[in-house]
């Protein structure tokens, strides 16, 4: 190759590396919006793809005017560590300190691992934020707290997603607690507290289990999440003495079958 061609190739490679090194945070905002079909947005992005911050917004479907802005800016730092890309996230209001995502990619196998903060904590959010996603959350107008966690040793991955040989497999256990849940459609507040567990063993589809921890509204059910499709069957009922106060809410939750409301998804 002639010297001028080597020089041109070097200049082009340098320009590309420089562009990547200073890629704007707006690129990440665009990728997040595309991946979530516009339901999770990163507004007011600042910094670069590798280190920056932005405001997280939960938004309704196309044409909806519903939106909820989460408190505190989300900060991130993306770096190469131990042969993998590691994404550290920081949001004082909602995310546990030390929360990270790690991507290990090869020609035949790619793995995304979630590493929680101390004591397996992942995050905590106000249930009212769900109203930004539109129907039915804007109708329910939930109150209470959503807490996501996982049982794992400090620094150990609790949830891994692996893509190999054209197949996707997940492994791990996540627990979402709905604490002190309330709704504007019910006169009883709080309605109760609940636990939704997503558990997946190697080679098996993730299994969902919903149980009631306490409260007047009793929720239970089970299901699975396979190839991005959710299947769930459960029921809702009122504790003795709460039937009249919860009757309208039960009619909205699912198809009535006697005193219970049947829940079916997928």
Is 243 part of a structural domain of the chain? yes
Domain that holds residue 224: 185-266
Is 259 part of a structural domain of the chain? yes
For residue 23, CA distances in Å to 12, 15, 29, 90, 209 come to 16, 12, 12, 20, 42
Residue 188 has pLDDT above 60, yes or no: yes
| Confidence (pLDDT) at 222 | 95
Mean pLDDT of 52-80: 88
pTM for the predicted model, two decimal places = 0.82
The whole-angstrom separation of Cα 255 and Cα 258 is: 10
Across 32-36, 124-128, 164-168, 203-207, the highest mean pLDDT is recorded for: 124-128
Mean pLDDT of 61-86: 86
Mean pLDDT of the chain: 83
CA angle 15, 19, 20 (to 5 degrees): 120
228 backbone dihedrals φ, ψ, rounded to 5° = 80, 5
For residue 97, CA distances in Å to 94, 115, 122, 159, 243 come to 9, 11, 8, 17, 42
The whole-angstrom separation of Cα 238 and Cα 261 is: 10
Is 231 part of a structural domain of the chain? yes
Is 248 part of a structural domain of the chain? yes
User: Domain total for the chain?
Assistant: 1
Mean pLDDT of 175-202: 90
Q: 137, 127 in Cβ contact below 8 A?
A: no
Among 159, 77, 162, which Cα is nearest to 115's? 159
Residue 213 has pLDDT above 70, yes or no: yes
| Confidence (pLDDT) at 223 | 92
| Confidence (pLDDT) at 105 | 78
Q: Please give the residue that has the higher pLDDT: either 206 or 238.
A: 238
Rg, the chain, Cα only: 22
| Confidence (pLDDT) at 165 | 73
Is 149 part of a structural domain of the chain? no
Is 114 part of a structural domain of the chain? no
- Write out the two tokens for 119: 């004591």
Is 224 part of a structural domain of the chain? yes
Residue 108 has pLDDT above 90, yes or no: no
Quick one: pLDDT band at residue 152, thresholds 50, 70, 90? low
Quick one: pLDDT band at residue 109, thresholds 50, 70, 90? confident
Q: 261, 254 in Cβ contact below 8 A?
A: yes
CA angle 169, 175, 181 (to 5 degrees): 140
- Give the three-class secondary structure for 27: helix
Return all residues near 144 (Cβ < 8 A) that are at least 6 apart: 126, 127, 178, 179, 180, 181, 182, 190, 193
For residue 78, CA distances in Å to 28, 42, 107 come to 11, 16, 21
Mean pLDDT of 48-58: 91
Half-sphere exposure (CA, 13 Å, Cβ side) for 72? 13
Mean pLDDT of 232-258: 91
Is 220 part of a structural domain of the chain? yes
Return all residues near 234 (Cβ < 8 A) that are at least 6 apart: 210, 219, 220, 221, 222, 223, 262, 263
| Confidence (pLDDT) at 220 | 96
Across 66-70, 73-77, 136-140, 200-204, the highest mean pLDDT is recorded for: 73-77
| Confidence (pLDDT) at 53 | 94
């Amino acid at each position: 190759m002639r010297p001028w061609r080597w020089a041109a190739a070097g200049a082009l490679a340098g320009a590309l590396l420089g562009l990547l090194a200073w890629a704007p945070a707006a690129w990440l905002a665009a990728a997040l919006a595309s991946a979530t079909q516009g339901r999770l947005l990163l507004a007011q992005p600042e910094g670069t793809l590798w280190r920056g911050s932005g405001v997280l917004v939960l938004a309704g479907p196309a044409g909806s005017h519903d939106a909820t802005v989460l408190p505190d800016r989300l900060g991130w730092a993306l770096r190469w560590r131990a042969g993998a890309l590691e994404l550290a996230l920081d949001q004082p209001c909602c995310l546990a300190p030390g929360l990270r995502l790690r991507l290990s990619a090869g020609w035949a196998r790619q793995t995304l691992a979630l590493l929680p903060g101390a004591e397996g904590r992942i995050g905590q959010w106000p249930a009212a934020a769900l109203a930004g996603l539109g129907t039915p959350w804007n109708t329910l107008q939930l109150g209470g707290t959503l807490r996501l966690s996982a049982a794992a040793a400090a620094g150990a991955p609790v949830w891994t997603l692996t893509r190999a040989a054209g197949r996707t497999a997940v492994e791990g256990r996540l627990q979402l607690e709905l604490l002190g849940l309330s709704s504007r459609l019910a006169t009883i507040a709080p309605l109760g507290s609940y636990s939704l567990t997503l558990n997946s063993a190697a080679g098996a589809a993730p299994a969902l289990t919903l149980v009631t921890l306490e409260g007047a509204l009793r929720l239970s059910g089970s299901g699975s999440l396979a190839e991005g499709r959710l299947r769930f069957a459960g029921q809702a009922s009122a504790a003795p003495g709460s039937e009249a106060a919860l009757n309208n809410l039960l009619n909205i939750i699912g198809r009535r079958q006697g005193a219970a409301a049947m829940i079916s998804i997928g």
